[in-house]
Amino acid sequence: MSSTGITPPHVRAFELLGGIFSTQVIAALARYGIFEAISSGKKSLGIIANECGVNENVLSRSMRFAEYSGIVRRDEDHYSLTDVGMYFLKETPGNLTGSLNFISAAPWRDSWSNFWHCLKTGEPAFDFVHGQAFFDYLDAHPEYGNPFHGYMTQMTSRVAPEIAAAYDFGAFETVCDVGGGQGILLKAILDHYPDCKGILYDMENAMANHVLGSLGDRVTFTAGSFFDDVPPADCMVLKTIIHDWNDENSMRILSNCSKSLKRGGRVILVEQVVEEPHSMMALFYDLHMQVMLGGAERTEAEFRRILYASGLRLVGILPTKSPMKIIEATALD
C-alpha cells in the first residue's frame, strides 16, 4: 500500500493473482494448529514452532504473510489472532474451517485450476478433470465424501432453525423436504410448527441416517429422484438444491414440483440470491457451483425466469439471519 493508503493498480493486480497461494498458506497454518496455538493469547515464534512441530524459519515468513493479510497481529515478536483469523477456529460461530478444508483439497483445487474449461464450454470443470460427476466422485472416494457430507450436515444444522423461524410453515398441513437428506431442515420446521406433518423425499441411501425418529407418524419417508417426480404436498422446500444444477436441470426439478403442488400451495427455495451491491461470498459460490457441478447462484430475475418456465411464479423473497434467502413461489394461475 502506498503512503496515501491507496493500493497501486499493479500491486492490486498481483494480489489478485496470489489468491491460490493465500489459500494454501492459510490451509498449512490451519493443518498444523497454528491458529489454535495462538487463540488463547500472544505467543512467541519459537514457542509456536515448538508446540506445532513446524520449521521456525518458514513459520516466520508465513506469519509475516498472515500479518499482512490481516489474519494475525504481531506485537514485539509475539503473535495473536485478529477478528478475521478467529474464523479459522472451529469453535468460532460461523467459522470457515470446513470451507477451507475443501477449497484447499486436491479435487477442488485441481478443478479450479481448470476453470478455463468452464469458460470455454459452459460445463463443470470437475467432470473434465476427474472423469466423473461431483457426487459420483464423492461416493467413490469416501476420504473426501464423508468429510464433505459431514460439513454440509453441520452447515444445515446451523441455519435450519433460522429458516424455520423466518417463514410461516405453520400455514400448511404437510411440508415436503425435497432432496432433504437426513431431514435436518424438516425436523427444525416440524419442531417449530407442531401441527405440521412432513415428507422426507430423497434417494434411499441419503435418508439412511435421518434425524426424524422422535417425530413418529408425523413424518413419511418417500424414496426417489426429484428428476423423476415429487410427492404431492401443499408446501415443498428445496434447500440449496437448485444452485447445484444448470437451468435445464433446475427447471426439470421445479416442473416436477409444480405438477405435484396442491392447489394454493407453495414451493420454497432456500438459496443465496446474487444482489447489488454484490457479496463476495455469493459471487464466489456462483463460480464455485459452476466449477463443481455446472450450477449457479442466481439473481432474482434469473429465479423468476426459471420458475415461470417451470409453471411457477415468484411470490416474494424473504431474508433470514443467514446469507440464505427464502424464495417463495406458487403455481401459475
Q: Would you say residue 99 lies in a domain? A: no
* DSSP-derived secondary structure for 158-222: HHHHHHHHHS-GGG-SEEEEET-TT-HHHHHHHHH-TT-EEEEEE-GGGGTT-S-GGGGGGEEEE
| Domain annotation covers residue 100 | no
116 and 197 housed in the same domain = yes
Residue 96 lies in a domain: no
Of the three residues 90, 122, 142, the one that is the final residue of a domain is 90
Question: Which residue is it, cell 504481531?
Answer: 74
- Domain range enclosing 255: 110-331
DSSP-assigned states of every residue in 91-158: TSTT--HHHHHHHHSHHHHHHHTTHHHHHHHSS-HHHHHHSS-HHHHHHH-HHHHHHHHHHHHHHHHH
Q: Going residue by residue through the chain, which has 333 residues, state the pLDDT in tens, using 9 for 90 and above.
A: 554 568 899 888 888 888 888 999 999 999 999 999 999 889 999 999 999 999 999 999 999 999 999 999 999 889 999 999 999 998 998 888 888 888 889 999 999 999 999 999 999 999 999 999 999 999 999 999 988 888 888 889 889 999 999 999 999 999 999 999 999 999 999 999 999 999 999 999 999 989 999 999 999 999 999 999 999 999 999 999 999 999 999 999 999 999 999 999 999 999 999 998 888 888 999 999 999 999 999 999 999 999 999 999 999 999 999 889 999 999 997
Q: Do 298 and 220 belong together in one domain? A: yes
Q: Determine the Cα–Cα distance for residues 181 and 140; give it in Å rounded to an integer.
A: 18
Whichever domain contains 311, its CATH number is 3.40.50.150
179 and 271, same domain (yes or no): yes
Question: How far is it, in rounded angstroms, from Cα 231 to Cα 261?
Answer: 8
Residues 38 and 149 in one domain: no
What is the predicted pLDDT for the residue at 314?
A: 98
Q: Is 104 a member of any domain?
A: no
For residues 200 and 256, membership in a common domain is answered with yes
Residues 124 and 247 in one domain: yes
Q: How far apart are CA 288 and CA 271, in angstroms?
A: 14
181: left (phi over 0), alpha (psi -120 to 50) or beta: left
State which of 90, 125, 155 marks the end of a domain.
90
Residue 102 lies in a domain: no
CA distances from 77 to 34, 45, 73 (A): 15, 7, 10
Residues 83, 36: one domain? yes
- Exposure string over 44-64, b if 16+ CB within 10 A, otherwise e: ebeebbeebebeeeebeebbe
The tally of domains found in the chain comes to 2
Shared-domain flag, residues 82 and 223: no
Name every residue whose Cβ is closer than 8 Å to that of residue 135 and which is 6 or more positions away in sequence. none
124 and 217, same domain (yes or no): yes
Question: Is 0.85 surpassed by the pTM of this model?
Answer: yes
155 CB-near residues (< 8 Å, 6+ apart)? 98
CB atoms within 10 A of CB 175: 27
The answer on 252 and 122 residing in a single domain is: yes
Q: Specify if 62 maps to a domain.
A: yes
Residues with Cβ within 8 Å of 46's Cβ and at least 6 positions away in sequence, in order, are 56
Counting Cα atoms < 13 Å in the Cβ hemisphere of 302 gives 17
Co-location of 199 and 319 in the same domain: yes
